[in-house]
């Protein structure tokens, strides 16, 4: 088993580092418990936005670049279509890729490229026509009735090798033409998964399912037994933690076993594609996943993709990948973000709902999880008020980038988001030796005096819901920086009988070139006469607060 990269995440500091072929090539670096993306020799936070699937062609996209710049993005996440770049086998047309590169450079933006190859949202809709129409040479998955599906089977070497050659050609082209290092990450395939049944019924798949579980996977499970994802460990140990056997002997007879089986073979196929690309150009590589709706079983969602409960299978099967990523469209953002950082996987969110909450979900990505980046989907179509909120939030992240990268992986940074849709009771978080009692204001409250929390519960149509959340950085003992919107925080000692915490001073300001620029003191009504810190709803602000202790 290759002990490097993705497979080594549970052995080293739980991070895979992409090997740079040149000193200035984008790469990954470990800092404490965090993984940093290094671009031009410095840590780089992706303030991103992903294009809609059909908006990646340069001529169509060109009118949107000014809007993208205006959102304070520094990176656009853009698809590369296999059917467009290889219209005939072995003949490549790079006009669409070159146009993206040129326009991104002209607008001072970086790119994350998404390889829409064998699979996009489970289906093989971006395979070239010469692949789609030759089902004998490029066989499809089959359902339990034996019918062909619009999914290339991962159990065929021709499918795999043809995709791998195309991806290698893309990476070679980037190596030869992207001398400005515009592309910082590349995603291999898109939302891989099996649907509407839990596993492929192609004859080769049936034969593999009846065969012993591959020795490489069994060796991995045995070596990492104590650090496996709990769902996998429980299923394996519930059936005797066998060191060998068929899939049903090792994991039991269930849709979950079918999902583990498919995850292994999807992972092996993806690793072959990734490995071919990395041999040409050593950029960091990742794979993304569509998430699971509550109560859904394998096959009812795109199952067997790089999901958190399958992370160990993917690590063993696809060691060339540097990490896996979630596409988060569900309201429980923090839950999914947290699950994707189990056992050291770096957090990059390449797709997210472009609601107003995107403006605070990115604060959580960077603050609570020391993430690589965050990108709402369909960014060229974002409307108001989400656009205004995201623009302001990205500006805040831009100001704080030197501080964020300095505090990543050190336990001196966190973020506050409502743990439930209706969080009326203060949300208590122990951080920096202080209990932060946080309430969230999701609605504007015009006419209320500064420092007054809106408790009316009025949800009239004239008052739109706003995001609420904050990033928090500990600057020193009892000294903190808060950046965000719609949160009010009180401060208490963690142990009864400890000295009382009071506010010594509180100031609003900005960071300019990494230096704090004071705007105004907030020691009167704005702090409710020394009772709390308040980031008012409706606008993103930065406040520095110094506490003191007394009896």
Rounded to the nearest 5°, which phi and psi values hold at 399?
-60, -40
Rounded to the nearest 5°, which phi and psi values hold at 85?
-85, -20
Q: Tell which residue, 394, 300, 290, has the closest CA to residue 351.
A: 290
Tell me what pLDDT residue 457 has: 45
Tell me what pLDDT residue 312 has: 97
Cβ–Cβ under 8 Å, residues 383 and 72 = no
Tell me what pLDDT residue 448 has: 40
Tell me what pLDDT residue 528 has: 82
Burial class (CB in 10 A: 0-12, 13-18, 19+), 239: middle
Sort residue 363 into left (φ over 0), alpha (ψ -120 to 50) or beta: alpha
**Most distant pair of Cα atoms in the chain: their distance:** 81
Tell me what pLDDT residue 508 has: 96
Tell me what pLDDT residue 86 has: 98
Cβ–Cβ under 8 Å, residues 429 and 110 = no
pLDDT of the chain along its 551 residues, tens only? 333 445 444 333 323 444 434 558 999 999 999 999 999 999 999 999 999 999 989 999 999 999 999 999 999 999 999 999 999 999 999 999 999 999 999 999 999 999 999 999 999 999 999 999 999 999 999 999 999 999 999 999 999 999 999 999 999 999 999 999 999 999 999 999 999 999 999 999 999 999 999 999 999 999 999 999 999 999 999 999 999 999 999 999 999 999 999 999 999 999 999 999 999 999 999 999 999 999 899 999 999 999 999 999 999 999 999 999 999 999 999 999 999 998 899 999 999 999 999 999 999 999 999 999 999 999 999 999 999 999 999 999 999 999 999 999 999 999 999 886 665 678 999 999 999 999 998 875 444 434 444 444 444 444 568 999 999 999 999 999 999 999 999 999 999 889 999 999 999 999 999 999 999 999 888 888 788 999 999 999 999 999 999 98
Residues 6 or more apart whose CB falls under 8 angstroms from that of 447 comprise none
H runs (alpha helix) in 281-383: 311-317, 333-339, 358-367
Supply 141's token pair.
């998955």
Tell me what pLDDT residue 531 has: 87
> Which structural domains are found in the chain, ordered by start?
5-408 (3.20.20.80), 415-550 (2.60.220.20)
Rounded CA-CA distance 51/109 in Å is 14
Within a 10 A sphere around the Cβ of 500, how many other Cβ atoms? 11
Q: Tell which residue, 328, 330, 329, has the closest CA to residue 348.
A: 328
Supply 387's token pair.
């656009």
Cβ–Cβ under 8 Å, residues 404 and 37 = no
Rounded CA-CA distance 241/220 in Å is 12
Q: Which helix (H) or strand (E) element contains residue 133? A: none
450-453 own/partner pairs: CB under 8 Å, 24+ apart: 450/525, 450/526, 450/534, 450/536, 451/525, 451/526, 451/527, 451/528, 451/529, 451/531, 451/532, 451/534, 452/528, 453/488, 453/534
């Amino acid at each position: 088993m290759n002990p490097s990269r993705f497979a080594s995440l549970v052995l080293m500091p739980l991070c895979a580092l992409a090997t740079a072929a040149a000193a200035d090539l984008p790469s990954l670096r470990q800092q404490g418990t965090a993984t940093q993306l290094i671009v031009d020799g410095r840590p780089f936070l992706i303030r991103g936005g992903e294009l809609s699937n059909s908006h990646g062609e340069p001529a169509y996209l060109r009118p949107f670049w000014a809007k993208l710049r205006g959102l304070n993005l520094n990176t656009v996440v853009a698809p590369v279509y296999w059917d467009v770049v290889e219209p005939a086998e072995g003949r490549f047309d790079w006009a669409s890729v070159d146009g993206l590169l040129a326009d991104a450079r002209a607008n001072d933006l970086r790119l994350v490229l998404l390889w829409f190859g064998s699979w996009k949202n489970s289906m093989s809709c971006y395979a070239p026509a010469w692949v789609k129409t030759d089902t004998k040479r490029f066989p499809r998955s089959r359902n339990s009735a034996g019918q062909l599906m619009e999914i290339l089977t991962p159990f065929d070497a021709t499918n795999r090798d043809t995709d791998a050659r195309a991806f290698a050609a893309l990476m070679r082209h980037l190596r030869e033409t992207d001398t400005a290092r515009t592309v910082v990450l590349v995603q291999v395939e898109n939302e891989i998964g099996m649907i509407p049944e839990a596993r492929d019924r192609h004859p080769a798949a049936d034969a593999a399912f009846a065969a012993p579980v591959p020795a490489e996977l069994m060796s991995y499970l045995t070596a990492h037994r104590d650090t496996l994802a709990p769902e996998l460990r429980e299923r394996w140990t519930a059936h005797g933690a066998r060191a060998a056997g068929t899939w049903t002997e090792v994991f039991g007879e269930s849709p979950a076993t079918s999902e583990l089986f498919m995850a292994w073979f999807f992972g092996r196929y993806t690793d072959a594609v990734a490995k071919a690309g990395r041999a040409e150009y050593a950029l960091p590589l990742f794979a993304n996943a569509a998430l699971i709706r509550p109560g859904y079983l394998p096959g009812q969602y795109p199952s067997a993709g790089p999901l958190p409960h399958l992370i160990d299978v993917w690590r063993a099967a696809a060691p060339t990948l540097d990490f896996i990523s979630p596409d988060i469209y569900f309201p429980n953002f923090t839950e999914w973000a947290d699950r994707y950082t189990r056992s050291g996987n770096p957090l990059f969110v390449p797709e997210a709902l472009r609601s107003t909450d995107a403006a605070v979900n990115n604060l959580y990505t960077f603050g609570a999880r020391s993430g690589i980046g965050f990108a709402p989907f369909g960014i060229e179509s974002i409307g108001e008020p989400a656009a205004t909120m995201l623009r302001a939030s990205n500006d805040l992240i831009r100001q704080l980038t030197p501080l964020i990268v300095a505090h990543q992986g050190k336990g001196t940074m966190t973020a506050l988001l409502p743990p439930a849709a209706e969080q009326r009771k203060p949300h208590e978080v122990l951080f920096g030796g202080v209990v932060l009692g946080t309430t969230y204001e999701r609605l504007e409250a015009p006419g209320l005096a500064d420092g007054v929390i809106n408790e009316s519960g009025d949800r009239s149509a004239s008052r739109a819901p706003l995001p609420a959340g904050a990033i928090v950085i500990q600057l020193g003992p009892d000294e903190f920086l808060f950046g965000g919107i719609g949160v009010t925080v009180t401060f208490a000692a963690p142990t009864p009988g400890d000295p009382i915490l009071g506010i010594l001073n509180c100031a609003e300001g900005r960071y300019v070139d990494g230096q704090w620029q004071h705007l105004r003191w907030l020691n009167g009504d704005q702090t409710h006469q020394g009772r709390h810190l308040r980031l008012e709803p409706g606008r993103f602000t930065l406040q520095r607060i110094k506490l003191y202790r007394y009896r």
